[in-house]
Amino acid sequence: MTNATQPHATAAYLGLAIGDALGATVEFMTPREIAAQYGVHKDLIGGGWLKLRPGQVTDDTTMALALGASILSAGRVDADAAARAFDTWMRGKPVDIGATVRRGLLAFRKTGVAKTPLSEHDAGNGAAMRVLPVALATLRLAEADVRAACRAQAHITHNNPLSDAATETLALMVRDALLGADKLALLHQRAHPLARLHPEFTFRATRQRQNPSGYIVETMQAVFQAFFDTDTFEDCLIDVVNRGGDADTTGAIAGMLAGAVYGPAGIPRRWLHGLDVATRNACEMQARELLEISA
Ligand code: MN
Ligand code: MN
């Protein structure tokens, strides 16, 4: 832990929510459609296919908060507690929910087993998008234990090697950043090793992956390009969401990484103040309390 760990953890959580709220406006649009309608999309204006209020977030943030709440009440990452929290979340009629998440939670409701069978097909980004509270709660654990905790929460709905690899990599990138690693270290110690282990994740240095789908490989390629090719929180998020596609989720994941690296000073005031107030408070509270239980 450094003096910057706490503020950067808070910025990562706010980044997740801001990226989600920013991207949701243009989710499922193409870059061409976004350009025609908005020029460059760069403000928290709501709308989109979900008809959101300005600053409102979607499942990416609310699932992370549900997971975080389960970790705080259990005192650790616990698959059963997380599955119950997700189930309660689903009963609350969230504004959006992924198909794999819904299928996994309906199965949990039926069987009570908080683990879905291995699937070669379910390589969606739904487990990766909600992993942040695990990274915070496990900050002082050994890397193998961080990876195990990531998989425990992931496998409630997504049990797939590519999803696992990405989810663990993202949590470890956040952890490294909170412990002081810079972007070059994250590139060489996390992003490149992921692509060596699973060549699907290989990405170019500059903008290539447009219109990324919810497939974890396309999501990660867009996030990595935007994150490593820009120098500020704001530029990173604007770059990634204007690619369209699963823009709320690429925005959420990029925002989490960028927040962890650049810290609170990097977050534009118009985005911080534009974010839904209850969401902002919940993110700030969980970031603080999750780091406390990591101690
Ligand atoms: Mn969403
Ligand atoms: Mn999405």
CA of 246 to the centre of ligand 2 (A): 5
* Band of residue 2 on the pLDDT scale cut at 50, 70, 90: confident
Residue 176 has pLDDT above 90, yes or no: yes
> Looking at residue 210, what is its pLDDT?
93
* Band of residue 3 on the pLDDT scale cut at 50, 70, 90: confident
Residue 295 has pLDDT above 90, yes or no: no
CA of 96 to the centre of ligand 1 (A): 6
> Looking at residue 103, what is its pLDDT?
96
CA of 95 to the centre of ligand 1 (A): 8
CA of 2 to the centre of ligand 2 (A): 33
Tell which wins on pLDDT, 295 or 258: 258
CA of 215 to the centre of ligand 1 (A): 14
Q: What is the 3-state secondary structure (H, E, C) of the chain?
A: CCCCHHHHHHHHHHHHHHHHHHHHCCCCCCHHHHHHHHCCCCCCCCECCCCECCCCCCHHHHHHHHHHHHHHHHCCCCHHHHHHHHHHHHHCCCCCCCHHHHHHHHHHHHHCCCCCCCCCCCCECCCHHHCHHHHHHCCCCCHHHHHHHHHHHHCCCCCCHHHHHHHHHHHHHHHHHHCCCCHHHHHHHHHHHHHHHCHHHCCCCCCCCCCCCCEHHHHHHHHHHHHHHCCCHHHHHHHHHCCCCCHHHHHHHHHHHHHHHHCHHHCCHHHHHHCCHHHHHHHHHHHHHHHHHHC
> Looking at residue 64, what is its pLDDT?
98
5-294: which CATH number, 1.10.4080.10, 1.10.10.10, 1.10.3720.10, 3.40.1160.10? Answer: 1.10.4080.10
CA of 193 to the centre of ligand 2 (A): 26
Q: What ligand has the least distance to the C-alpha of 95?
A: 1
Kindly list the protein residues that place their beta carbon closer than 5 angstroms to ligand 1, a single-atom ion: 58-60, 96, 248
Q: What percent of the chain has pLDDT over 70?
A: 100
Q: What ligand has the least distance to the C-alpha of 246?
A: 2
CA of 61 to the centre of ligand 1 (A): 8
Q: What ligand has the least distance to the C-alpha of 60?
A: 1
* Exposure on the CB side of residue 148, measured as CA atoms within 13 A: 8
Q: Where are the domains of the chain?
A: 5-294
- Quick one: CA torsion of 153, 243, 230, 146, rounded to 10 degrees? 10
CA of 42 to the centre of ligand 2 (A): 18
> Looking at residue 190, what is its pLDDT?
98
Q: What ligand has the least distance to the C-alpha of 94?
A: 1
